[in-house]
Chains A and B, each alone.
Chain A
Amino acid sequence: MKPLLKVEKLSLRLPKGSDREFAIRDISYDLMPGELLCVVGESGSGKSMTANAIMGLLPKVIEVDQGAVTFDSYDLTSLEEKRARALRGNRISMIFQEPMTALNPLMRVEDQISEVFLIHTQMTSTERHERTLALLEDVGLPDPQKMLRAYPHQLSGGQRQRVMIAMALALEPSILIADEPTTALDVTTQAQILKLIKALQRKHNTAVMFITHDFGVVAEIADRVVVMEKGELVEIGQCDEVLNHPKHPYTQKLIAAVPPLVSPHREAKVYQEPPILLVKDLCKTYSTGGSWFSKARIVKAADNVNFELHRGETLGLVGESGSGKSTVSRCVVRLLEADSGQIFLAGKEIQSLGSKALTPFRKRIQMVFQDPYASLNPRKTIGQIIADGPIAQGVEPSVAYQKAADLLDLVELPKSALSRYPHEFSGGQRQRVGIARALAHDPEVLVADEAISALDVSVQAQILELIENLKKRLNLAVLFVVHDLRVAAQVCDRVIVMEKGKIVEMGETTQVFESPNHEYTKSLIASIPGADWRSGVSDENISQGEGVRG
């Protein structure tokens, strides 16, 4: 079979002063008609660069150093803009990561989709209308007639991504490039979108180039896999081959870092002491859009939430976006005021305390935040970031700085980091600083709000290991808010599953994963991409991936 698209020895040069010379170097691979090729790699691996080169979306500062991308006997890298425009959206089309921003908020769905026909074809308006309607049916949107008239803000993330897919497939392109199309979606939505892409690909025999960082997704849909590391192609092969018998050490390391979906056997712990954190009947509602003339929309983010947490225990709080898991975690640390309910920290009720009275309790319950790039003040040195908290609590500055140095040791960062600024560190290192800051107060409870979800998979493994070690050493109680069920299965002793502000299931991790009771839990577990793959791997294989530094 003749390849549809040939990438030959493609090198893209980065502007001077970047961290490396080439964005991608000497990349060669083929895309066959009707196949689904996954391009996998961590952030900074250059996995999206090839796709951008194909679509002519490269930033101006990046130039093609050598090589070619051949499609239909054209070299796409040197094609003039006018010709390229005729191919784009017509023969090759693309879907993006952010369904929230990829659609024009001022255009109705119908206008957005039929614009494609308007540009590339001579269809009449009735033809356009019919085709658009057919497309919406094709991508499985409910009530397509009504959908035509909808504006993007009226659709959910998954529905918007379906509209994007409809737009991309409108002209039956030979190649569809999907750049992390499901990363911003919830796991159940992701499962539906993956199924849809696979089904449409089969139906129209489209070649799909699917860019992702998630090996679970690869296992779910790929025919062939390309693995990229720092701009170089390290492995290419059939999906089964690469996933189950990776040859290159980097691929092995990446795959080993994917947490298997089996929770390791844990002994049910019996706690002598009373729980360090006890949450009773916590309620929190948000109301939005209320005005004099319209009724406010009320969302129950926490609806009678009850749980307890012991020292030395990791409690997972899992659920999809909008389930209220973050709200609960923020109410617990009193960043948000709950509407009603009680929170006991070491037997003391802290929900009703005013901000003055709360101050001494602040240090006993600390939080690690999600985004390592937003959680450190860019204008402060690492030393200040860690020591400022204790200083605010009345600790001598010299003592606090000494402690900061010790903490850096504890989170395995060099002491020289003290006087440096956050921008000099990678995401994983910053997250270590974030953990050090939380530990500066010797807290008893650590709340990790999606603390690893912004990190690459190999870095995730390290941070998880660090939190686990610290928990054991310092006898911490950890409340782990997480949407990734694979991670939850690995690190949590018990899990709480939340849906729309309510706890639907709570229990030992093994029990919840092996025999879930609630329908919602079952559907969550069934939606995990690549659930069949790596479901029987033992613990030893994970530790291989931890020698790598973020």
Chain B
Amino acid sequence: MNVIKSLTHNKVAMVGFAILSMFILIAVFGPYLYDGNPWRMVQRPFIPPFQNNQYILGTDTLGRDVLAGLIHGARISLLVGLVSTAIALLIGIPLGAYAGYYGGWVDEVLMRFTEIFQTVPSFALAIVLVAIFEPSVYSITGAIAIVSWPPVARLVRGEFLSLRSQEYVLAAKLNGQTNRNIIMREILPNSLSPIIVLASLMVASAILLESSLSFLGLGDPEIMSWGYMIGAAKTVLRQAWWLSFIPGAAIAVTVLSLNLLGEGLNEALNPKLSGNREN
């Protein structure tokens, strides 16, 4: 309750939340409200924005509707961002929890395994994975999830390490509670706040990763995405800069709003850690 209250008082976070909600609404309902196929060639190419009443944002190199592309792109960007983050959490939280709770050799094994993924540059690994499994929404989402879970595991492990020696956890042990119960009901609920904050930032970086992959031509060829739009327009950057700029701005604003929201969440969930307040 308090968290929501202090979050609503945080103007910056609310701006982020508003922008994000807008994008989510566009992603969910946009394709139904705006009748346009992003792939169909509808007009002559290179119409600049605000010149044609029917195609407000103009057309691209092949005469496709840019606004339709933007709307359909929002869908794929947010979907990939959210799903890949969810998968990364599903991998990272249990690994980190077991490593932190049991310590010893379990910790050693799990953390060395995590380090294997951390030592490989994540973008390079994502490219390789997508290239191996053929570009599709599934392979892209999976690849992003695989490169982004290690920080989650690290974070959760740290939280568990510090919480497992808390007296209420010891009391639960003395109560004869099972390890599973202690992990799920005593420690995990108390380590959720940093995980939530991290997750909101991970969605942002997943969107960036997806765009970068699409830009390189490793996106799903069936689906219009922001990254693909920039990639397709890169050759005509000097003649028609807006074709790169418009989807680029969409990416930037989405990522920014996620970051603002994440920061606001951080402040609301860890009031002691945020620098803005005294006490």
Q: Which residues of A contact B166 (CB under 8 A)?
A: 374-375
Quick check: is B172 within 8 A (CB to CB) of the other chain?
A: yes
Is there contact, CB below 8 Å, between B190 and A388? no
Q: Which residues of A contact B174 (CB under 8 A)?
A: 333, 335, 362, 366-367, 389
Q: How far is the CA of A60 from the CA of B278 in the complex (A)?
A: 6
Instruction: Show 30 A/B contacts (Cβ-Cβ < 8 Å), sorted by A.
Output: A59-B278, A61-B277, A61-B278, A61-B279, A335-B173, A362-B175, A363-B175, A363-B176, A367-B174, A369-B170, A370-B167, A371-B167, A374-B166, A374-B167, A374-B168, A375-B166, A375-B168, A377-B168, A377-B189, A379-B189, A380-B185, A385-B168, A388-B172, A388-B175, A389-B172, A389-B176, A392-B178, A393-B175, A434-B171, A437-B171
A368-412 vs B, CB cutoff 8 Å, 1 = contact: the mask equals 011100111111100001001100110000000000000000000
Is there contact, CB below 8 Å, between B171 and A375? yes
Residue in A61, A369, A392 whose CB lies within 8 Å of B175? A392
Of all chain B residues, the one with the shortest Cβ separation from A385 is B168
Is there contact, CB below 8 Å, between B176 and A377? no
Of all chain B residues, the one with the shortest Cβ separation from A447 is B174
Q: Which residues of B contact A366 (CB under 8 A)?
A: 174
Interface size class of A (residues with CB under 8 A): 20 to 34
Residue in A59, A335, A389, A392 whose CB lies within 8 Å of B170? A335
Q: What is the distance, in angstroms, from A88's C-beta to the closest C-beta of chain B? A: 19
B238-279 vs A, CB cutoff 8 Å, 1 = contact: the mask equals 000000000000000000000000000000000000000111
Q: Which residues of A contact B170 (CB under 8 A)?
A: 335, 367, 369
Quick check: is A535 within 8 A (CB to CB) of the other chain?
A: no
Q: How far is the CA of A214 from the CA of B173 in the complex (A)?
A: 34
Q: What is the distance, in angstroms, from A66's C-beta to the closest C-beta of chain B? A: 21
Residues of A316-359 at the interface with B, using a CB-CB cut-off of 8 Å, are 333, 335, 359
Quick check: is B186 within 8 A (CB to CB) of the other chain?
A: yes
Q: Which residues of B contact A378 (CB under 8 A)?
A: 190
Quick check: is B21 within 8 A (CB to CB) of the other chain?
A: no
B186-200 vs A, CB cutoff 8 Å, 1 = contact: the mask equals 100110000000000
| Apart from A61-B278, A362-B174, A388-B172, 20 more pairs, CB < 8 Å | A59-B278, A61-B277, A61-B279, A333-B174, A335-B170, A362-B175, A367-B170, A369-B170, A375-B166, A377-B168, A378-B190, A379-B190, A388-B185, A389-B174, A389-B176, A389-B177, A392-B175, A392-B178, A437-B171, A437-B175
Q: Which residues of B contact A388 (CB under 8 A)?
A: 172, 175, 177, 185
Q: Which residues of B contact A385 (CB under 8 A)?
A: 168
Q: Which residues of A contact B173 (CB under 8 A)?
A: 335
Quick check: is B52 within 8 A (CB to CB) of the other chain?
A: no
Q: How far is the CA of A369 from the CA of B167 in the complex (A)?
A: 7
Q: How far is the CA of A369 from the CA of B174 in the complex (A)?
A: 11
Quick check: is B181 within 8 A (CB to CB) of the other chain?
A: yes
Q: How far is the CA of A184 from the CA of B46 in the complex (A)?
A: 74
Residues of B172-228 at the interface with A, using a CB-CB cut-off of 8 Å, are 172-178, 181, 185-186, 189-190
Is there contact, CB below 8 Å, between A359 and B168? no
A490-530 vs B, CB cutoff 8 Å, 1 = contact: the mask equals 00000000000000000000000000000000000000000
Q: Which residues of A contact B181 (CB under 8 A)?
A: 392
A410-446 vs B, CB cutoff 8 Å, 1 = contact: the mask equals 0000000000000000000000001001000100000
Is there contact, CB below 8 Å, between A359 and B190? no
Interface size class of B (residues with CB under 8 A): 20 to 34
Q: Which residues of A contact B186 (CB under 8 A)?
A: 377
Residues of B36-92 at the interface with A, using a CB-CB cut-off of 8 Å, are none
Q: Which residues of B contact A393 (CB under 8 A)?
A: 175-176
Q: How far is the CA of A151 from the CA of B167 in the complex (A)?
A: 32
Q: Which residues of B contact A362 (CB under 8 A)?
A: 174-176
Q: What is the distance, in angstroms, from B182's C-beta to the closest C-beta of chain A? A: 10
Q: How far is the CA of A152 from the CA of B177 in the complex (A)?
A: 41
Q: How far is the CA of A111 from the CA of B175 in the complex (A)?
A: 50
Q: Which residues of A contact B277 (CB under 8 A)?
A: 61
Task: Select the residue from B168, B173, B278 with max chain A CB neighbours within 10 A.
Answer: B168
Is there contact, CB below 8 Å, between B168 and A392? no
Closest 4 CB pairs of A and B: A389-B175, A375-B167, A369-B167, A362-B176
Of all chain A residues, the one with the shortest Cβ separation from B168 is A377
Q: Which residues of B contact A61 (CB under 8 A)?
A: 277-279
Q: What is the distance, in angstroms, from A201's C-beta to the closest C-beta of chain B? A: 33
Known: A59-B279, A378-B190. A392 touches B167 (CB 8 A): no
Q: Which residues of A contact B176 (CB under 8 A)?
A: 359, 362-363, 389, 392-393
Q: What is the distance, in angstroms, from B163's C-beta to the closest C-beta of chain A? A: 10
Q: Which residues of B contact A379 (CB under 8 A)?
A: 189-190
Q: Which residues of B contact A333 (CB under 8 A)?
A: 174
B145-183 vs A, CB cutoff 8 Å, 1 = contact: the mask equals 000000000000000000000111011111111100100
Of all chain B residues, the one with the shortest Cβ separation from A372 is B167
Of all chain B residues, the one with the shortest Cβ separation from A374 is B167
Of all chain A residues, the one with the shortest Cβ separation from B166 is A374
Q: What is the distance, in angstroms, from A340's C-beta to the closest C-beta of chain B? A: 21
Residues of A15-61 at the interface with B, using a CB-CB cut-off of 8 Å, are 59-61
Q: How far is the CA of A335 from the CA of B175 in the complex (A)?
A: 11
Q: How far is the CA of A333 from the CA of B185 in the complex (A)?
A: 22
Q: What is the distance, in angstroms, from B181's C-beta to the closest C-beta of chain A? A: 7
Q: Which residues of A contact B178 (CB under 8 A)?
A: 392
Q: What is the distance, in angstroms, from B254's C-beta to the closest C-beta of chain A? A: 32
Q: What is the distance, in angstroms, from B130's C-beta to the closest C-beta of chain A? A: 40
Q: Which residues of B contact A60 (CB under 8 A)?
A: 278
Of all chain A residues, the one with the shortest Cβ separation from B178 is A392
Q: How far is the CA of A350 from the CA of B113 in the complex (A)?
A: 37
Q: What is the distance, in angstroms, from A387's C-beta to the closest C-beta of chain B? A: 10
Q: What is the distance, in angstroms, from B268's C-beta to the closest C-beta of chain A? A: 16
A243-259 vs B, CB cutoff 8 Å, 1 = contact: the mask equals 00000000000000000
Task: Select the residue from A61, A333, A366, A388 with max chain B CB neighbours within 10 A.
Answer: A388
Q: Which residues of A contact B168 (CB under 8 A)?
A: 374-377, 385
Q: Which residues of B contact A371 (CB under 8 A)?
A: 167
Residue in B177, B190, B278, B279 whose CB lies within 8 Å of A392? B177
Of all chain B residues, the one with the shortest Cβ separation from A422 is B168
Q: How far is the CA of A254 from the CA of B172 in the complex (A)?
A: 35
Q: How far is the CA of A359 from the CA of B181 in the complex (A)?
A: 14
Q: What is the distance, in angstroms, from B39's C-beta to the closest C-beta of chain A? A: 49
Of all chain B residues, the one with the shortest Cβ separation from A388 is B175
Q: How far is the CA of A385 from the CA of B189 in the complex (A)?
A: 14
Q: What is the distance, in angstroms, from A286's C-beta to the closest C-beta of chain B? A: 14
Q: What is the distance, in angstroms, from B101's C-beta to the closest C-beta of chain A? A: 14
Of all chain A residues, the one with the shortest Cβ separation from B179 is A355
Of all chain A residues, the one with the shortest Cβ separation from B182 is A392
Q: What is the distance, in angstroms, from B135's C-beta to the closest C-beta of chain A? A: 43
Of all chain A residues, the one with the shortest Cβ separation from B169 is A377
Q: What is the distance, in angstroms, from A479's C-beta to the closest C-beta of chain B? A: 14
Q: What is the distance, in angstroms, from B57's C-beta to the closest C-beta of chain A? A: 48
Residues of B99-152 at the interface with A, using a CB-CB cut-off of 8 Å, are none
Of all chain B residues, the one with the shortest Cβ separation from A365 is B174
Q: How far is the CA of A388 from the CA of B184 in the complex (A)?
A: 13
Q: How far is the CA of A389 from the CA of B176 in the complex (A)?
A: 7
Q: Which residues of B contact A380 (CB under 8 A)?
A: 185
Q: How far is the CA of A385 from the CA of B181 in the complex (A)?
A: 13
Q: How far is the CA of A278 from the CA of B172 in the complex (A)?
A: 24
Q: How far is the CA of A510 from the CA of B185 in the complex (A)?
A: 46
Q: How far is the CA of A261 from the CA of B243 in the complex (A)?
A: 85
